[in-house]
Amino acid sequence: MSASDRRHRRSSQATSPRPDAGRGDFIQSLTRVLLTGDPGKARIRSRTHDIGRRLLRTSSHVCEPNFTQIHPDDLSFLFSAYDERFLHGLCGKALGPAGVTFRLSSRMTRAGGKTTLLRGPDGVDRFEIAVATSILFDGFAEGDPEVSVGGLVCRHRLDALQRLFEHELVHLAEWLCWDESHCGRKRFQDIASRLFLHRAHTHQLITRSERAAARGISVGTRVTFRYQGKRLRGRVNRVTKRATVLVEDPAGTRWSDGRRYVRYYVPLAGLRSVAAGGGQPAGQG
């Protein structure tokens, strides 16, 4: 998947208060690091490898490169480690007491990560970094196409997690220094290239829709599946974590095509494609 260039925007357009003198100094120092920092390829690779190795050693969940579990604490570890090794701890200091929170999202099915600025009624900026677990866990199956994040080939989920986090860390740092962040713009791409060797601002990840399409299943496909010992037949209406399948049923909800359907949420592995025919329901009536 090629994630679209995302513009990270405020949740409120209220004017930001001026930072206190101490925090302002940290932001100025962070700005200099972002605009001039260049550790060099060898040092960058050594640092990122060390961070990944430390995560595997200390995490209770990320215990192997193709991990099957992850916890928000693992994202917190990555933030502290990257901030210390690449940004001299300035990102955490510039954030102030509000800090940054971390979230794992199973609902994000196209973007690998997201950095959000939440501005409360008290005028205090609070940031959140979310990482899409669905995309991480759906990838790296045997026979999958190559995965790349930031233009860098990822051998396993740990590689992808680190590259995604590096991308989001640049968003966060840009927000702190310039009150905006756009990964499609030159400044972002220059920072990501110098600090982390990223070659692109887009990602090539395996989405559930793409995996379903590889099985011959997409929106509109006629499928069969088993439910409570019976084999049902319907049409795929949506593909996310599972497929939403509409099955004609007189007791179901009326849709705009005049027919009644019952929704079933079916794991992709439980679907079998059958010969297509007829029209697709357009929407509920």
- Are 75 and 189 members of one domain? yes
Residue 285 counted as domain residue: no
Q: Are 176 and 235 in contact (CB under 8 A)?
A: no
- Are 176 and 249 members of one domain? no
Q: Are 113 and 132 in contact (CB under 8 A)?
A: yes
The rounded distance, in Å, linking the Cα atoms of 243 and 16 is 43
- Are 121 and 41 members of one domain? yes
Residue 154 counted as domain residue: yes
Q: Are 212 and 241 in contact (CB under 8 A)?
A: no
Domain of 20, in residue numbers: 7-206
Instruction: State how many domains the chain has.
Output: 2
- Are 151 and 53 members of one domain? yes
**Residue at which a domain ends, from 160, 190, 206:** 206
pLDDT in tens, the chain (285 residues): 333 344 444 433 333 344 455 788 999 999 999 999 999 999 999 999 999 999 999 999 999 999 999 999 999 999 999 999 999 999 999 998 888 999 999 877 678 899 998 877 877 778 999 999 888 887 787 767 788 899 999 999 999 999 999 999 999 999 999 999 999 999 999 999 999 999 998 877 766 666 666 677 888 889 999 999 899 999 999 887 778 999 999 999 999 888 999 999 988 778 888 864 444 444 554
Residue 2 counted as domain residue: no
| Residue 206 Cα distances to 5, 149, 161, 217, 253, angstroms | 17, 11, 14, 15, 33
CATH code of the domain covering residue 258: 2.30.30
- Are 224 and 166 members of one domain? no
